[in-house]
Structure 1
Amino acid sequence: MTGLPQTELLSGHPVARARDVDEAHEAVTRTYLPHRLELLDRGSGFDMRLNAVRVGAVTAGYLCYGSAVRLGTADAGNYHVNIPVTGRCEQRCGSAEPVFAAPGRAAVFMPGYPADLRWGAGCAQLCLMIDRRDLELELERQLGRPLGERLRFTTTMDLDTPAARSWLDVLALLERDAGRPGGITHHPAAAAHLQNLVIAGLLLAQPNNYSDLLHAPAAPAPPRALRRAVELIEDDPGRPWTSSTLAREVSVSVRALQEGFQRWFGLPPMAYLRDVRLTRVHGELAVSDPAATTIAAVAARWGFLHAGRFSTAYRRKFGTLPSDTLHGRRPAPGPNG
């Protein structure tokens, strides 16, 4: 299982519905990259569906061919991951062994290599394209140094590992919220964080030639860098911070920053940021006019877009509900008074 809904994905973002091969070819070229498209079963009616959304450096698309087709590309400029939702697709990157992708097994493609795909009739895939420069920059931030050699992934991706399942949860969040008016993809702070989760998650979930370094213990950031990171968060908590952008600002690797926050504050940098933002929400609600203020608007302004999770986190931190703060109600006494 992929962990994604076994239905048409990203239905709120239609790009093309094509019964003509040339029309289908043009739509996929426009969304992803130039390619060759060959209809393998000319006796069946051709039917292609493409839905797609872009979140920063990540393009996510649902692509389904009703007939068996063959796709070929020259050297790709970016990284791609194809995740079957239904059906099967034989996929090859360069001279690597073919990947017989099906639900539970994805195919990964690197820039600089041709690709060949034999797409089974009725096969539907979630096709991700990640900008090469953004992915490599994130890897450099994770390592805290420039890359010594080109990033190379294993071309077969097992989607049943714990890390891959966590990564699929991020993709499911992207897919679910992309269709919601005012969802996270429409808010810069949340969209930047989501993009970072997709990119960093792929680096950690899929074996590559930097995996040993990525999973090796990291020395914590020095106190000076941690103090500066805290100052940046406190001075501008509304900025769309990610662990990567924060690490870059204080000149340490992402892993060093995370290790330092965990050691000195007992929580990751993004959890520290969340607590600061919760405090700002609390302060704003406490002085706002209930007749002119909505909790959802204040929460969204500080990057909290899921009402249930926000309310739970707020109550855990302050022992009261956001509505109580807005209306000036004191929290109910506990069982001991």
Structure 2
Amino acid sequence: MDSRLLSERSRVFERADPYAVSGYVNQHVGSHCIRLPAAGHPEASLNHRKFANLDLCRISYGGAVRVTSPALETIYHLQILISGHCLWRGHKQEHYLAPGELLLINPDDPVDLTYSDDCEKFILKMPTTLMESICDEQRWQRPSPGVRFVQNNYRLDELEGFVNLLAMVCQEAEATDALPRVQEHYAQIVASKMLSLMKTNVSRESLGCQEASFERILAYIEHNLKQDISGEFLARQASMSLRSLYGLFERHLGTTPKHYIRQKKLERIRAALADPSCNVRSVTELALDYGFLHLGRFSESYKSLFGELPSDTLKRRSL
């Protein structure tokens, strides 16, 4: 895990003065103060990348440093402990983070963290405006004070695929040729994944209080093809068990929800590529719009279904 979340290519400080590193963090990652131990000379290291409207940071202070802030105001901090341990204090409770654990800090949460000597973290800084835009786009109801994560602590193995997504983001951030539009898509996917996997105060659109009809399930998929819709999520929205959902798809269509959703995404992409009135800048951009992060697999699936590459479909409409 540790080798995939920002490599040495993103190094800004190595074995440096912790106050110099803290000053840089204040400019790019979030306002805070640090308190160093009375004895010793800790050496800090920092890797950093700007990625669309996100900031990616990997940091170690090399000592038992205490980090405090009254609030982050307009940003969320997602912190993953890579090594060592970190004590988090908040709202009359405290928790020792172990490697592989994730901490979410809301904009209005006070920050009070104590690093161990060997503590190293990966930090994702995300603006509140990105979370709000995802909710508005999906017509999810969010309280007027803003989106808030109601559970602060998770183990990464509880969040299926999330660390792999972050690793892909880091890899893209360190690519030689940065593509701003691609970075924006990844940032939106990360925010959507967080809202889907983690507990928040957001009320997401539901298929209905009673068990939904199969037609309504298909209509829901049709209207949300750009989202990451898993079978588990669809079953919860439809107020039925995952087994019942799979049974419906097998009886009506002879396939699984996952294969059906992928096929519908591919059909929507093909329609856009073939339509001269549809403004498509590139196949890559369109694929990312529909959540296809592995472009090689996307092209293979597309060709298997339609007998040609997506680039061929796009070229043909201009003939």
The TM-score with structure 2 as length reference comes to: 0.69
2:114 corresponding residue in structure 1: 118
| Match for residue 79 of structure 2 among 78, 82, 97 | 82
Residues 152-171 of structure 1: CA deviation (Å, up to 9, x unaligned) = 4212123222xx12222221
CA distance in 2, matches of 1:44, 1:202: 38
Match of 1:199 in 2: 191
Structure 2 vs 1, CA of residues 301 and 26 (structure 1 numbering), >3 Å: closer, same or farther? Answer: same
- Give, in whole Å, the separation in 2 of the partners of 1:54 and 1:301: 16
Cα root mean square deviation, aligned: 4.2
How far 1:83 moved relative to its partner? 0.6
Deviations 1:285-329 (A, max 9, x none): xxxxxxxxxxxx964465577452133123212235679999x9x
Contact 1:99 1:107 in 2 (8 A): no
Equivalent position of 1:214 in the other structure = 204
Residue 23 in structure 1 maps to residue 20 in structure 2: yes
Equivalent of 1:32, from 17, 29, 32?
29
Q: Is the Cα contact below 8 Å between 1:281 and 1:298 reproduced in 2?
A: no
Paired amino acid for 1:196: Q
When normalised by structure 1's length, the TM-score is 0.66
**Partner of residue 308 from structure 1, selected from 290, 296, 309:** 296
Match of residue 175 from structure 1:
170
Matches of 2:81 and 2:185 in 1, distance apart? 25
Post-superposition shift, 1:140?
A: 4.4
Task: Assess if the C-alpha contact under 8 Å between 1:92 and 1:99 holds in 2.
Answer: yes
Matches within 5 A, 1:96-175: 96-147=92-143, 150=146, 151-161=148-158, 164-175=159-170
2:81 partner amino acid: P
Aligned to 1:153, the other structure's residue is in SS state coil
1:250 matched residue in structure 2: none
Structure-1 separation of matches of 2:136 and 2:191: 12
SS of the aligned residue for 1:165 comes to: coil
Q: Deviations over 1:93-135 (max 9, x none)?
A: 4x24223112232111111232111011222111011111321
Return the alpha-carbon distance in structure 2 between the equivalents of residues 27 and 218 of structure 1: 49
The answer for unaligned runs of 5 or more in structure 2 is 229-233, 239-248
Closer/same/farther in 2, CA of residues 81 and 322 from structure 1, 3 Å limit = closer
Shift of 1:29: 0.5
Q: How many residues align?
A: 277
Q: CA deviation at 1:187?
A: 4.5
Structure 1 residue aligned with 2:50: 53
SS at match of 1:25: helix
Give the drift of 1:275.
3.6
Q: Structure 1: any 5+ residue segments left out of the alignment?
A: 231-240, 245-254, 285-296, 329-337
Identity value in percent = 20
| Structure 1 residue 174, shift from structure 2 partner | 0.6
The answer to whether the Cα contact below 8 Å between 2:142 and 2:201 also exists between their aligned partners in 1 is no
- The verdict on how the C-alpha distance between 1:301 and 1:148 changes in structure 2, with shifts beyond 3 A counting, is closer
Q: 1:202 to 1:92 in 2, by over 3 A?
A: farther
Which residue type is aligned with residue 138 of structure 1? I
